[in-house]
């Protein structure tokens, strides 16, 4: 069985969990915190989460993992049947992974604050700027679709949707107002009711911090 090494608060790992769930693929979730000190870096020299362990073959980066999943388990596909729509879905997903998430990850924010001396207000302004540009572009992309659909690019959720939903959660956590993006919100409302998305949420993972119940 494949092992997915990740962390509860890792939106790239959440993308992969959603994909595995949508395809009904069995896997074992391994919290990175459960490994011995230094073991994850040894397995994955990049040191970034997530990584997929396929019988000892370690695949880093969610984009590579998702490509492997799609190629190895093609049904049901994460992409539309139409080649042009498939390309649009890939572009939508890439915009989130490369242009948005990459700029808002914790290590980037910490470097801005701690190494470059940016105060909390400056870092927040930086985040809001890039999140605003990114979500506005995604909203307009959906607005320009030739055939509107319940999910980003079709009648069922796929690659674009599994990138979008974790990024919207990240945006809320970072204080970004999403009310200006009604098309994105409509897609989110449909996705979050599905088991594939619910069971991939951070709070559904075994390493999610548990709070003590009140006496």
Domain holding 69: CATH number?
Answer: 3.40.30.10
pTM to 2 decimal places = 0.93
Residue 211 lies in a domain: no
Would you state the pLDDT for residue 214? 43
Are residues 122 and 40 part of one domain? Answer: no
* Mean pLDDT of the region 162-171: 97
Query: Does 215 score more than 80 pLDDT?
Result: no
Are residues 109 and 10 part of one domain? Answer: no
Query: Does 125 score more than 60 pLDDT?
Result: yes
Query: Does 108 score more than 70 pLDDT?
Result: no
* Mean pLDDT of the region 116-142: 87
**Residue 157 three-state SS:** coil
* Mean pLDDT of the region 46-53: 96
Residue 53 lies in a domain: yes
Would you state the pLDDT for residue 111? 72
Are residues 112 and 37 part of one domain? Answer: no
Q: Is 190 within 8 Å of 151 (Cβ atoms)?
A: yes
**CA quadruple 33, 37, 40, 43: dihedral, nearest 10:** -150
Are residues 96 and 152 part of one domain? Answer: yes
Are residues 17 and 101 part of one domain? Answer: no
**Mean pLDDT, rounded, of the chain:** 93
pLDDT, tens digit, for every residue of 192-205? Answer: 999 999 999 999 99
Would you state the pLDDT for residue 115? 63
Q: How many domains does the chain have?
A: 2
Domain holding 117: CATH number?
Answer: 1.20.1050.10
Are residues 93 and 151 part of one domain? Answer: yes
Residue 210 pLDDT grade (very low, low, confident, very high; cuts 50, 70, 90): confident
Query: Does 213 score more than 50 pLDDT?
Result: no
Would you state the pLDDT for residue 189? 98
- Judged by average pLDDT, the poorest of 3-12, 61-70, 124-133, 142-151 is 124-133
Would you state the pLDDT for residue 103? 78
Q: Which domain holds residue 161?
A: 83-194
């Amino acid at each position: 069985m494949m092992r997915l090494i990740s962390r509860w608060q890792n939106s790239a790992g959440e993308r992969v969990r959603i994909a595995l769930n949508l395809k009904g693929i069995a896997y074992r979730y391994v919290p990175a915190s459960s490994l011995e000190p230094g073991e994850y870096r040894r397995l994955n020299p990049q040191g970034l989460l997530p990584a997929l362990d396929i019988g000892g073959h370690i695949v880093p980066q969610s984009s590579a993992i998702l490509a492997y999943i799609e190629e190895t388990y093609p049904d049901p596909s994460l992409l539309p049947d139409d080649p042009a729509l498939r390309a649009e879905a890939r572009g939508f997903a890439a915009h989130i992974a490369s242009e948005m998430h990459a700029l808002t990850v914790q290590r980037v924010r910490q470097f801005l604050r701690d190494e470059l001396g940016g105060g909390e207000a400056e870092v927040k302004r930086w985040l809001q700027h890039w999140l605003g540009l990114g979500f506005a572009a995604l909203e307009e992309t959906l607005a320009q679709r030739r055939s509107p659909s319940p999910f980003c690019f079709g009648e069922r959720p796929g690659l674009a949707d599994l990138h979008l939903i974790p990024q919207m959660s990240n945006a809320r956590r970072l204080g970004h107002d999403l009310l200006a993006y009604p098309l994105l919100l409509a897609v989110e409302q449909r996705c979050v009711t599905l088991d594939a998305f619910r069971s991939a949420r951070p709070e559904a993972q075994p390493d999610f911090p548990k709070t003590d119940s009140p006496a």
